[in-house]
C-alpha cells in the first residue's frame, strides 16, 4: 500500500479550495495508466484527471463520445495504483449521467467504489445543476466542466471557442454559479476568451482549472500526451509542448530496427554467456 505509506500528504478537495483562497495555482494533468500516473505523481501535480479523452488520445477514436463507464473504471483503477499524493478525478463518460439522476448516482458511485478516485467530473451548465446536487448529496464530490464540452462536439459544431458573444459569456458566468451552488468543488473551463474565464473565476469561490482559457484561472490542466508531444497531430494555440517524446520514440525505435537489421543489436554486453 504505497499510497498509505507515502510520507507526502494526500491532497483533499478542501486543500484545493484553500489553494484558491490563498492564491496558489493548482496544477492538474491527465493520466490513463499506472506508469504515467507514477511520473506525474513524482513531478508533484495537485490533481490527476482520468479524462474521457482516453478515447481519442489512446484508443484512436475521433471524439470522447465512445468512452464507456467500464473503460473509465479500468483506467481509473490503474491510474490510482500510480498515485500517492494528488486528488484523482475520473470523467463521467457520455450518457453515464445524462439519462437520469438515479443512473448518474449509480454510475458515479461505481466509478468511485471501483477506482478509489476522490471525485467525478461532468460536462455542462445550469441544466445539470440538479444532477450535480444529487451526486453531492449522495457523497460524491463533483467537478464541473464549462465552455467547450467535448461530449457535445457535434452540437457545438466542432472544436470551437465558447462564450465569444456577450450573452454566451454571461450564460457561462450563470452556469458556473449554478454549478457551484449545486455543490461542485471545482470546475474545468475549456476554450473561452481570457476575460470570460477571468469573470467566471471571480464569480465563484471554488477553483477554476483552465485549458485554453488563459492565465486568470485558479489552475491549469493539459492532456499529458499532448504536452509531452506524443499526440503530434493536435496543435491548438493554447497547447505548449514541454517535450517532443513522439519524435524521440520514433527515433529510438528506428535505431533499434536499424541495429537489429545490421547485427549491432544484441552486442556482447546484451548477450548471456
Ligand atoms: O477528458 C479530458 O482530458 C478533459 C480535459 C481536457 C480537461 O476533460
**Taking the CB of residue 266, how many other CB atoms lie within 10 A of it?**
11
Specify the pLDDT at position 7.
Answer: 56
Tell me which of 211, 220, 224, 230 to substitute to probe ligand 1's pocket, judged by most ligand atoms within 8 Å of the beta carbon: 211
Residue bearing the CA closest to ligand 1, atom 5: 51
Residue bearing the CA closest to ligand 1, atom 6: 223
Asked if the model's pLDDT at residue 24 lies above 90, the reply is yes
Tell me which of 36, 143, 150 to substitute to probe ligand 1's pocket, judged by most ligand atoms within 8 Å of the beta carbon: 150
Ligand 1 contact, 211 CB (< 6 A): yes
- Selected catalytic residue, list 190, 232, 244, 259: 190
For the entire predicted model, the pTM comes to 0.96
What are the tens digits of pLDDT across the range 198-246? 999 999 999 999 999 999 999 999 999 999 999 999 999 999 999 999 9
Cα 86 to chain center, whole Å?
12
Residue 160 near residue 116 (C-beta atoms within 8 A): no
The yes-or-no answer on residue 190 being catalytic is: yes
Helix axes 166-181, 129-137, angle to 10 degrees: 20
Segments of the chain assigned to CATH 3.20.20.60:
13-242
Q: Which atom of ligand 1 is nearest to the CA of 52?
A: 1
Query: Where do we find the cell 449554478?
Result: 178
Cα 52 to chain center, whole Å?
8
What are the tens digits of pLDDT across the range 235-258? 999 999 999 999 999 999 999 999
CATH ID of 13-242, from 2.40.10.10, 3.40.50.300, 3.20.20.60, 3.40.50.970: 3.20.20.60
Confidence category of residue 9, pLDDT binned at 50, 70, 90: confident
Residue bearing the CA closest to ligand 1, atom 8: 51
Ligand 1 contact, 226 CB (< 6 A): no
Amino acid at each position: 500500500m504505497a499510497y498509505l505509506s507515502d510520507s507526502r500528504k494526500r491532497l483533499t478537495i478542501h486543500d484545493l479550495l484553500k489553494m484558491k483562497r490563498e492564491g496558489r495555482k493548482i496544477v492538474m494533468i491527465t493520466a490513463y495508466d499506472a506508469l504515467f500516473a507514477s511520473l506525474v505523481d513524482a513531478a508533484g501535480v495537485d490533481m490527476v484527471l482520468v479524462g474521457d479523452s482516453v478515447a481519442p488520445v489512446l484508443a484512436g477514436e475521433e471524439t470522447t463520445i465512445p468512452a464507456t463507464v467500464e473503460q473509465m473504471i479500468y483506467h481509473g483503477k490503474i491510474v490510482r495504483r500510480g498515485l500517492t499524493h494528488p486528488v484523482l478525478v475520473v470523467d463521467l463518460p457520455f450518457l453515464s449521467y445524462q439519462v437520469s439522476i438515479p443512473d448518474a448516482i449509480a454510475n458515479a458511485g461505481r466509478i468511485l467504489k471501483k477506482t478509489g478516485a476522490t471525485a467525478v467530473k461532468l460536462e455542462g451548465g445550469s441544466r445539470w445543476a440538479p444532477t450535480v446536487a444529487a451526486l453531492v448529496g449522495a457523497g460524491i464530490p463533483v467537478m464541473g466542466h464549462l465552455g467547450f464540452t467535448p461530449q457535445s462536439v457535434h452540437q457545438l459544431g466542432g472544436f470551437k471557442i465558447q462564450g465569444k458573444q456577450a450573452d454566451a459569456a454571461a450564460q457561462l458566468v450563470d452556469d458556473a454559479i449554478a454549478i457551484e451552488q449545486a455543490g461542485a468543488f471545482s470546475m474545468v473551463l475549456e476554450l473561452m476568451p481570457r476575460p470570460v474565464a477571468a469573470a467566471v473565476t471571480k464569480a465563484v469561490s471554488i477553483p477554476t482549472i483552465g485549458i485554453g482559457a488563459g492565465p486568470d484561472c485558479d489552475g491549469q490542466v493539459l492532456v499529458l500526451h499532448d504536452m509531452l508531444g506524443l499526440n503530434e497531430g493536435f496543435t491548438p494555440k493554447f497547447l505548449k509542448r514541454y517535450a517532443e517524446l513522439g519524435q524521440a520514440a520514433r527515433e529510438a525505435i528506428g535505431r533499434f530496427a536499424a541495429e537489429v537489421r545490421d547485427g549491432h543489436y544484441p552486442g556482447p554486453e546484451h548477450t548471456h554467456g
